[in-house]
């Protein structure tokens, strides 16, 4: 076996194996991403999906969490979400949020297995870059939620 063939064999095995694993991983483990209006339009019936939007209307901040996710383009469109997970630290209305799970057509809400809220650095940066402090608190020292 020539030297170049001797090197080509492991190269092909490693990168061929890599290509195969990536293709398999994407095919079997990929979850479609969607916007709220697509869920409202019934585009992903009975399929796991990750939905992006803005957090709104928190009905329950305790487990199970109950809130809505509002469409980023059309604020009129929203879906109710139920999520039996720990409340993230950055779980606040108007924040960017993504929920992963399935639409329950009978209960007419989205059952989320995972909730992704954004990290503080991103929130701070966006708030600074764009719509800076659109609503200031009506007073200082809003108290403990008791």
Partner 1 sequence: MDFSYVDLGRALERVAFVAAILTALLAALAVVARDRRLVAAARNTLIGGGVAILGAAGALVGAFFEGAYGIDYVFHYSERKVSAQYKLAGLWAGLDGSILLWAMILGVIGAALAWSFRKRGLDPSGRRLEPYVYVVFACVQVFFLAVICLQADPFAPINPDVVAGLSDLQGRAARGPYLWDGIPRDGKGLNPLLENYWMTIHPPSVYLGFILYTVPFAFGMAALAAGEFSSYWIRTTRRWTMVAWLFNTTGIVLGGLWAYEVLGWGGYWAWDPVENASFLPWLTGTAFLHSVMIQERRDMLRVWNALLIAMTFVLSIFGTYLTRSGIVSSVHAFAGGEIGQWFLAFLLLLIAASVFLLFFRMRDLRSANSIDSLLSREGVFLLNNMVLVAIAVAIVLLTLWPKISNEFLKNPITLGVPVYNRVCVPFFLLLFFLTALGPSTAWVRTSVSRFLRNLLVPAILAIAATVATLWVSFVKIRGGDAEQPLTPLDHVYPTGVLTFLGWWIVLSLAWEFVRTVAATGRATGRDPVTAALRVVVGNNRRWGGYVVHAGLAIMGIGIASSTMYATEHQNVPLVPQKPVRIGPYEYEVTAQREAVPVSAYLSTKLDVTVRSLAAGGGPDAVVGHMAPEYRFYPATAYRQQAQPQSEVAILHRPGEDLYLYFEKPGPNGFPRTAEGLPIFGFTIFRKPLILLVWGGWIVMLAGGLFAAAPLGRRKVGLAA
- Cα 33 to Cα 44, 70, 145, distances in angstroms: 10, 15, 34
Cα angle for residues 116, 58, 103 (degrees, 5° grid): 60
Contact positions vs partner 1 (CB under 8 A): 3, 6-7, 10-11, 14-15, 17-18, 21-22, 24-26, 28-34, 50, 52, 60-63, 86-87, 89-90, 92-93, 98, 100, 116-130, 132-133, 135-146
> Which residues does residue 112 pair with via DSSP β-bridges, in sequence order?
83, 101
Smallest separation (angstroms) from partner 1 to the CB of 77: 18
The total number of residues written for the chain in this structure: 146
The nearest distance, CB 76 to partner 1, in angstroms, is 23
Based on CB atoms, which residue is closest to partner 1, 11 or 106? 11
Pick 106 or 121: Cβ nearer partner 1 = 121
**Spatial CB neighbours of 114, under 8 Å, sequence gap ≥ 6:** 83, 85, 99, 100, 101
Q: How far is the CB of 104 from partner 1 (least distance, A)?
A: 20
In the complex, the smallest distance separating the C-beta of residue 110 from partner 1, rounded to whole angstroms, is: 16
Q: Which residues contact 89 (CB under 8 A, 6 or more apart)?
A: 117
- Cβ-based nearer residue to partner 1, 79 or 99: 99
- Of 50 and 109, which CB lies nearer to partner 1 in the complex structure? 50
Torsion of Cα atoms, 101 then 82 then 77 then 33, to 10°? -20
């Amino acid at each position: 076996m020539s030297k170049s063939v001797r090197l080509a064999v492991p190269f092909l095995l490693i990168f061929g194996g890599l290509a195969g694993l990536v293709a398999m991983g994407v095919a079997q483990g990929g979850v479609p991403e969607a916007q709220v209006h697509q869920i409202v339009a019934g585009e992903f019936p009975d399929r796991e999906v990750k939905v992006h939007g803005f957090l709104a209307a928190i009905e329950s901040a305790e487990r199970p969490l109950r809130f809505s996710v509002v469409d980023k383009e059309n604020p009129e469109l929203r879906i109710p979400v139920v999520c039996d997970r720990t409340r993230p630290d950055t779980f606040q209305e108007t924040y960017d949020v993504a929920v992963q799970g399935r639409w329950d057509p009978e209960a007419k809400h989205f059952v989320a297995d995972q909730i992704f809220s954004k990290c503080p650095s991103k929130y701070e940066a966006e708030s600074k870059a764009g719509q800076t402090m659109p609503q200031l608190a009506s007073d200082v020292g809003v108290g403990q939620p008791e």
